[in-house]
């Protein structure tokens, strides 16, 4: 089972402290979200899993953390200033502002307003998605010399550091650079909870390869990502691949395969249940070329007169110099978190006929690994023992102590936030130095001696 819709996860998130509407006490800020105590843990665990998998477990990836605000030239030569836009239309009937490429068409091929159904829409006009800002205390808002952007992707920070990383790490092709960081897009139609927002986080790899190896390695990355996504507990039946058509490809891409997740299982049309979790693009040698000082156009003019570096690669084995091709797997932290929560969501009926929610997160991702609960909070010896056990577990795994309700209620709360183990201290514990360990998914209980508890949990986490 997985969540019946995104709203179920949005409501659980607010109720239990995963994700809150941002700026809520001032009426909110359209499609902005804050990650609460459990959400920040879950997001950090996703990022940790990714970094371990991408950077530590492979031998060919280096990490990077580049700036959010870059020299404006980066966005000029990357093509974002001219092409990073969505086609905007206004509905003359209901005054909605819409993205034309997301609208359905009627039998006559006319675009239909998704808000009121009218086909009386304005002609599309391009709307650049980059957020603008100005640099310097004395700059005027409209001073083009002070204009800068918040990055709409982390990728460009990687391309412009290609030579720095290559020279300092003494890498040979193929190798990659990984980065996790915030990106900003002034989306025309954000929405669906954390699926599409104006501020979000990306985990991107730019993998530099010889042109003749690009197809094989593209496929290898695709296979590797499918495995990593499944390791997050996301079931195969809720993932599928989508090959972008020539019209859909970004200006830099020769081939892009998206991995889709079933974010909208409630939709009756199966085709409409899916949306993009991530994309894996073959960006060719476009990026390193456009940021290099040497390449020239057909008239012999430098395509980039502002760059001070050449980002070509010299292969000592073949004595060739060329611009590496780039394979780019790019995935959003927020969309991953949403897919992980949707897939982990389950409901179970108790013997009394009550419905309980269990978030069956893989233990690696669970915000809290163990909750230590005293069976009687008015018995000081039990409370003291439970707090001691929690403190003892805490350095090696995230544990909490909770005595704010009856045991049934405490179990239900931990099930709903995905805690794999509850450890209960009862009257007998004082005699036999053992505790009851309750398993989240099966609700089975086992008696475990306190001396063995740490290793018992470590083995199962
Ligand atoms: N560097 C390539 C790039 O940025 P993209 O397909 O535009 O490609 C990559 O974005 C990923 O970033 C998406 O697959 C998605 O997971 C995430 N993403 C993009 N826009 C987003 C938004 N407005 N809100 C949340 N996540 C977003």
User: How many C-beta neighbours within 10 Å does residue 129 have?
Assistant: 17
What kind and span of H or E run contains 389?
Answer: helix 380-393
Strands (E) across 217-306 are located at 239-243, 255-261, 275-282
Rounding to the nearest 10 degrees, give the CA dihedral for residues 231, 232, 233, 237: -80
CA distance 36 to 12: 12
* Alpha carbon 78 to chain centroid, angstroms: 23
The DSSP call for residue 300 is: S
Q: Is 196 in the pocket of ligand 1 (CB under 6 A)?
A: yes
Whole-number pLDDT of residue 1: 84
CA distance 449 to 461: 18
Secondary structure (3-state) at 98: strand
Cβ pair 368, 399 in contact under 8 A:
yes
Q: Is 283 in the pocket of ligand 1 (CB under 6 A)?
A: no
**pTM over 0.85, yes/no:** yes
Q: Is 185 in the pocket of ligand 1 (CB under 6 A)?
A: yes
Q: Is 335 in the pocket of ligand 1 (CB under 6 A)?
A: yes
Q: Which of 84, 189, 260, 332 is the best mutation target for the ligand 1 pocket, counting ligand atoms within 8 Å of the beta carbon and taking the most? A: 332
Q: Which of 330, 333, 337, 339 is the best mutation target for the ligand 1 pocket, counting ligand atoms within 8 Å of the beta carbon and taking the most? A: 330
List the pLDDT tens digit at each of the 461 positions of the chain: 899 999 999 999 999 999 999 999 999 998 999 999 999 999 999 999 999 999 999 999 999 999 999 999 999 999 999 999 999 999 999 999 999 998 999 999 999 999 999 999 999 999 999 999 999 886 677 788 899 999 999 999 999 999 999 999 999 999 999 999 999 999 998 999 999 999 999 999 999 999 999 999 999 999 999 999 999 999 999 999 999 999 999 989 999 999 999 999 999 999 999 999 999 999 999 999 999 999 999 999 999 999 999 999 999 999 999 999 999 999 999 999 999 999 999 999 998 999 999 999 999 999 999 999 999 999 999 999 999 999 999 988 999 999 999 999 999 999 999 999 999 999 999 999 999 999 999 999 999 999 999 999 999 99
Secondary structure (3-state) at 222: helix
Point out the ligand 1 atom lying closest to the alpha carbon of residue 196: 24
Q: Which of 149, 239, 328, 335 is the best mutation target for the ligand 1 pocket, counting ligand atoms within 8 Å of the beta carbon and taking the most? A: 335
Cα(272) to centroid(ligand 1), Å:
19
Whole-number pLDDT of residue 75: 98
Q: How far apart are the first and last CA of the chain?
A: 22
Question: Which residue's CA lies nearest to atom 18 of ligand 1?
Answer: 332
Nearest-10 crossing angle of helices 333-344, 6-16? 100
Whole-number pLDDT of residue 141: 72
What kind and span of H or E run contains 456?
Answer: helix 450-460
Cis peptide before 174 (omega within 30 of 0): yes
Cβ pair 360, 440 in contact under 8 A:
yes
Q: Which of 344, 200, 345 is nearest to 278 (CA)?
A: 200
Cβ pair 41, 359 in contact under 8 A:
no
Q: Is 233 in the pocket of ligand 1 (CB under 6 A)?
A: no
Point out the ligand 1 atom lying closest to the alpha carbon of residue 195: 25
Whole-number pLDDT of residue 144: 84
Q: Which residues of 30-66 are buried (b: 16+ CB within 10 A; e: fewer)?
A: ebebebbebbebbbebbbebbbebbbeeeeebbebeb
CA distance 168 to 159: 15
């Amino acid at each position: 089972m997985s969540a019946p819709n995104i709203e179920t996860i949005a409501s659980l998130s607010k109720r239990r402290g995963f994700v809150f509407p941002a700026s809520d006490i001032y009426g909110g800020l359209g499609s902005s979200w804050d990650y609460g105590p459990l959400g920040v843990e879950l997001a950090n665990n996703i990022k940790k899993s990714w970094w371990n998998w991408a950077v530590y477990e492979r031998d060919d990836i280096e990490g990077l953390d580049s700036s959010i605000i870059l020299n404006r030239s980066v966005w000029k030569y990357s093509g974002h200033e001219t092409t990073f836009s969505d086609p905007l239309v206004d509905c003359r009937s209901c005054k909605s502002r819409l993205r034309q490429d997301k609208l359905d068409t009627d039998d006559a091929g006319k675009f239909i307003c998704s808000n009121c159904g009218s086909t009386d829409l304005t002609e599309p006009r391009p709307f650049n998605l980059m957020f603008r800002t100005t640099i310097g205390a004395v700059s005027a808002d409209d001073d083009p010399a002070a204009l800068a952007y918040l990055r709409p992707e982390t990728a460009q920070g990687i391309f412009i550091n290609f030579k720095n990383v290559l020279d300092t790490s003494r890498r040979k092709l193929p190798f990659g650079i990984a980065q996790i960081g915030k990106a900003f897009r002034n989306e025309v139609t954000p929405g669906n909870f954390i699926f599409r927002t104006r501020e979000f986080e990306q985990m991107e790899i730019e993998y530099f390869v010889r042109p003749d190896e690009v197809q094989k390695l593209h496929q290898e990355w695709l296979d590797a990502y499918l495995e990593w996504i499944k390791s997050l507990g996301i079931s195969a039946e809720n993932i599928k691949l989508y090959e972008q058509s020539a019209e859909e490809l970004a200006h830099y891409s020769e081939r892009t395969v998206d991995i889709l997740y079933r974010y909208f299982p409630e939709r009756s049309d199966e085709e409409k249940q899916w949306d993009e979790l991530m994309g894996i693009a073959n960006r060719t040698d476009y990026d390193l070329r456009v940021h290099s000082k040497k390449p020239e156009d057909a008239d012999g003019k430098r395509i980039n007169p502002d760059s001070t570096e050449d980002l070509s690669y010299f292969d000592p084995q073949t004595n060739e110099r060329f611009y590496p091709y780039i394979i780019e797997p790019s995935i959003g932290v927020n969309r991953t978190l949403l897919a992980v929560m949707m897939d982990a969501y389950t409901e179970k009926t108790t013997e009394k006929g009550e419905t309980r929610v269990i978030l069956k997160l893989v233990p690696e991702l669970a915000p809290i690994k163990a909750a230590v609960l005293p069976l009687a909070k008015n018995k000081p010896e039990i409370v003291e023992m439970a707090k001691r056990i929690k403190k003892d577990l805490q350095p090696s795994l995230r544990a909490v102590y909770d005595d704010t309700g009856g045991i049934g209620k405490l179990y239900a709360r931990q099930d709903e936030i995905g805690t794999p183990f509850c450890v209960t201290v009862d009257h007998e514990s004082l005699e036999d130095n053992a505790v009851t360990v309750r398993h989240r998914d099966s609700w089975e209980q086992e008696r475990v001696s306190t001396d063995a508890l740490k290793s018992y949990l470590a083995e199962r986490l």
